[in-house]
């Protein structure tokens, strides 16, 4: 009797399996993808100022989710592909799932 074919993983399962990105890798990705400038990214660490595109996404959120997202962004050390704050970055940049998957694949190499 033949064994059944293994199920093809869903896109969500594949996304969950992507390696996490460090804060540095995310910041490189923000600059390289045009979501933020190098001075904006440097300002995150120096002053806590959030890049304009991310700030707009935060401002559009209701409380308390807005405050939670700001705190998470200010304190993150790694970014998981399916974390809500990471998904906020994706939405802020107007990136498709495939584009943001590629972001993770590309910047995990740095």
Q: Please give the C-alpha separations between residue 54 and each of 7, 30, 36, in angstroms, as whole numbers.
A: 37, 10, 9
Q: Please check the confidence at residue 64 and state whether its pLDDT lies above 70.
A: yes
pLDDT above 70: percentage of residues in the chain = 98
Distance separating alpha carbons of residues 66 and 59, to the nearest angstrom:
7
**11 in any annotated domain:** no
Kindly provide the residue ranges of all beta strands, DSSP E only, lying in the chain, ordered along the sequence: 21-22, 78-79
Q: Please check the confidence at residue 45 and state whether its pLDDT lies above 90.
A: no
Mean pLDDT (whole number) for 5-30: 94
Whether pTM > 0.85 for this model: the answer is yes
**48 in any annotated domain:** yes
Whole-number average pLDDT of the chain: 93
Give the pLDDT band (50/70/90) at residue 73.
very high
**1 in any annotated domain:** no
Residue range of the domain that includes 72: 19-107
Q: What is the pLDDT of residue 1?
A: 64
**13 in any annotated domain:** no
The pLDDT tens digits of the residues spanning 25-38 come to 999 999 999 999 99
Give the pLDDT band (50/70/90) at residue 4.
confident
Tally of structural domains, the chain: 1
């Amino acid at each position: 009797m033949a064994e059944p074919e293994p199920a093809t993983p869903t896109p969500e399962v594949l996304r969950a399996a992507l390696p996490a990105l460090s804060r540095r890798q995310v910041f490189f990705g923000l600059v390289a993808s045009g979501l933020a400038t190098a001075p904006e990214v440097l300002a995150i660490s120096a002053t806590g100022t959030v890049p304009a595109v991310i700030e707009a996404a935060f401002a559009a959120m209701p409380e308390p989710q807005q405050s939670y997202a700001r705190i998470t962004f200010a304190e993150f050390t790694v970014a998981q592909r399916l974390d809500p704050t990471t998904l906020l970055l994706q939405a802020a940049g107007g990136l498709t799932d495939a584009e943001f998957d590629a972001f993770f694949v590309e910047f995990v190499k740095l």
